[in-house]
Structure 1
């Protein structure tokens, strides 16, 4: 049986190599503004290059009409558009994790006619239900400002596109730029705001999230690699979490209460008043950007990038004397924007605790130290040959141990201790003599409270 152009193109085109006859290639109807539901199963047509399955839908478009296709649901999907057997747009790149996210593909019809939209699983094991929507987009004609609620399509040149954004009411806003043809980037300036983003929208898409005052802003859409093509630009009102009120300056309490703020290009500063000497832990986190935390005042100058434990959050632990300090919340990358949460907690040390920063280390006599990121040196005397075990534990930072003798490193360890992941342990055969134990924070971490213990023999 003779193949249709669509079937032949899908047969020969990677990643849509489908071996089906003309009867199997009949496309299902897709209406503009009306979604359809489907499910990828083993009964659907197969792509022999990667084993994925797909369903094809047909939609009629006018010349110059812009449309956004979105596949959502349990299926980790890809989208691909064809016209008379020729590729028009896509395929999209899948960005699915444990919870599949919707995938979008934006295109502009070059001529009036019927177009085929293929929904495919992301691989040979991608199955499940989905919903496919076709949403018409307003093609921007360069007239008038953009306002919240705008959802346009436009073509970009090598120099990018600039728009006037008009905000009539102060609020929290989100701007998204999507393209299946190039790596998108956004910049927003005006009224004291200067922010930018490249890949914050997932994949190669851009997203800006920021509180904006009423006024006029300049919004610039760009291609990272100076490529040209179609893109979708949407301006919406973002939703703050329930009970969240933004506070971008002021006093920071020491009771662990969380302050919510937002970056719009410049760092945010808070004042921390310490009335009693004690251990203070400051934490800064965000789902929008990679955080950086600073603490200054009273001869203290500390900073941290990723000490919060998840790769992007920050944490500083320090013994602070009475006085007023400045806490700075910023983004690691200039121009980043979005919400953040900041807290400070002061805890008292157990009665009788003496903090050490080096000196003599005695077998079976644990010491408690407080580091601001610097290495502490301890001298350890060994009187009999045997197995020396040194443990360094901390809840504040990733520990690192070194054992030295006569200036040479005998042994070192990062994560070999109890508790998994951040505690250090040395276990080494030694001869009588004087050794130096170096207690450190891994890769220049901000430091904090730690316990150090040396003993002979394995337990």
Structure 2
């Protein structure tokens, strides 16, 4: 990158993006605002100097940098920013985007420091040949880190067909835009619509009344349809999610490789230690889970395309459901299962979306010397392990004398919840222990009490440790 030598330059920062007017050769003791006020009258004369001293970037070049505390200070909100110079030609539609760890925005100014565009990705139609200023700014005073600054010229297409593997940049003006797509070979495909000026929305229709729609499946208000498509002619309708939209969008259709052995299983029997890949396209998928030996099992449904949801049903009214216990919108059910047949349903949390998922069933080994007790009597100063599967577990605690009782319920699998009930009072706790563990400390009179161990949510499940301690204390019954 070329660099020009220059006098000192000061920019006033506004709204998280470096913005303002130039002040040449400003004394260090001046504030940015004062400098801006003094420079207003000479803006037309001095403004081109805003380009002097800046690293020069070339359109189409990828620049790597890092925003640190050494960057120029935005006096308005404390964020930092860096400036670059770029030469643009009249009639070009340019895109300047920011990627990487830095949470920030890009701003484009002309050589008179008039703000033209500001966003994570800037699109601008150049009306005049000349030099411009690009500013990379942190989102706030805590935003630092490495970044990549990308720039390119966008060649807009008015084609009415989209080829698989060849993205198309186009312009939406009004209600919608229809594009034809031909699928020659059956397989998994991903169609995406990305836009920065409006909320993208995709519709895909095809043979045998095929129809899919998506709003934000690709994140950041971008649309994505992932599905298994049969050969044939399809119509893509690209539009804004809310009424008419105007702006640049990118439309693409890409084939997707099937994982593992390339086989999809959307029904059938599942056994412990099985892992399979399936495809959700709007309809619930049912599997038969066969458990031959009683024990602890964990069932996971993972996907980068959809918000996974699992339902497990068995005999005697057994029912477990889970949405996000696996993290990152993945579903997970961990429970102690008796021998028998179970109905396992894989779907999405809201019944919408489409995409690939992985389903696995794995036995879980109990730690050495661990015995599960899910009911019975509690003895002061003992510790036991149990298994929560969605239903509250009840224990009985008998005190021979007035005592200061401490109950602790700990689990690495779910958010615990403790309840203590007596003849005339009751107590409860959610997160009184470490993290999401529960802890109760209460002075109690002699008598029999009920201790209930459960999860804060009925969707949680897993192993827990319940500990009870009691120390004699002076406490008299109420008169």
- What TM-score range do you get, normalising by the shorter chain? 0.7 to 0.9
Q: Tell me the SS of whatever aligns to 1:24.
A: helix
Deviation at 1:285, TM superposition (A): 2.6
Equivalences for residues 226-241 of structure 1 within 5 A: 226=243, 228-237=245-254
Equivalences for residues 339-378 of structure 1 within 5 A: 339-347=356-364, 358-364=375-381, 369-378=386-395
- Change in Cα spacing, 1:134 to 1:457, as seen in structure 2 (3 Å) is same
Tell me, in whole angstroms, the C-alpha distance in 2 between the residues paired with 1:356 and 1:43: 60
Say if 2:439 is the partner of 1:430.
no
Corresponding residue to 2:324 among 280, 300, 306: 306
Q: Tell me the SS of whatever aligns to 1:412.
A: strand
Tell me, in whole angstroms, the C-alpha distance in 2 between the residues paired with 1:155 and 1:278: 57
Does the Cα contact within 8 Å between 1:89 and 1:180 map onto a contact in 2?
A: no
Deviation at 1:239, TM superposition (A): 5.9
Does the Cα contact within 8 Å between 2:272 and 2:361 map onto a contact in 1?
A: yes
Deviation at 1:401, TM superposition (A): 0.7
Q: Tell me the SS of whatever aligns to 2:271.
A: coil
Say if 2:290 is the partner of 1:273.
yes
Deviation at 1:347, TM superposition (A): 4.2
Structure-1 residue corresponding to 2:222 = 205
Does the Cα contact within 8 Å between 2:270 and 2:288 map onto a contact in 1?
A: yes
Corresponding residue to 2:456 among 442, 447, 451: 442
Tell me, in whole angstroms, the C-alpha distance in 1 between the residues paired with 2:18 and 2:340: 66
Does the Cα contact within 8 Å between 1:195 and 1:337 map onto a contact in 2?
A: no
Say if 2:97 is the partner of 1:70.
yes
Equivalences for residues 44-55 of structure 1 within 5 A: 47-50=74-77, 51-55=79-83
Structure-2 residue corresponding to 1:317 = 334
Say if 2:406 is the partner of 1:397.
no
Q: Tell me the SS of whatever aligns to 1:23.
A: helix
Tell me, in whole angstroms, the C-alpha distance in 2 between the residues paired with 1:45 and 1:393: 49
Structure-2 residue corresponding to 1:98 = none
Deviation at 1:402, TM superposition (A): 0.5
- Change in Cα spacing, 1:156 to 1:148, as seen in structure 2 (3 Å) is farther
Equivalences for residues 110-189 of structure 1 within 5 A: 111=127, 113-114=129-130, 116=132, 118-122=134-138, 123=140, 131-141=148-158, 143-145=160-162, 147-157=164-174, 159-189=175-205
Corresponding residue to 2:51 among 17, 25, 30: 25
Structure 1 residue ranges without an equivalent (≥5): 1-6, 93-103
- Change in Cα spacing, 1:127 to 1:145, as seen in structure 2 (3 Å) is closer
1:201-257 deviation per Cα after TM superposition (whole angstroms, max 9, x unaligned): 3x34344444544334443434344463213223153665974745342433312x5
- Change in Cα spacing, 1:222 to 1:87, as seen in structure 2 (3 Å) is farther
Q: Highest CA radius of gyration, 1 or 2? A: 2
Say if 2:33 is the partner of 1:16.
no
Deviation at 1:303, TM superposition (A): 0.6
1:15-46 deviation per Cα after TM superposition (whole angstroms, max 9, x unaligned): 33244443232476655544456666778765
Tell me, in whole angstroms, the C-alpha distance in 2 between the residues paired with 1:369 and 1:127: 46
Tell me, in whole angstroms, the C-alpha distance in 1 between the residues paired with 2:270 and 2:416: 29
- Change in Cα spacing, 1:61 to 1:253, as seen in structure 2 (3 Å) is farther
Tell me, in whole angstroms, the C-alpha distance in 2 between the residues paired with 1:245 and 1:67: 40
TM-score by length of 1: 0.77
Does the Cα contact within 8 Å between 2:239 and 2:245 map onto a contact in 1?
A: no
TM-score by length of 2: 0.75
Tell me, in whole angstroms, the C-alpha distance in 2 between the residues paired with 1:287 and 1:453: 39
Does the Cα contact within 8 Å between 1:187 and 1:197 map onto a contact in 2?
A: no
RMSD: 3.8
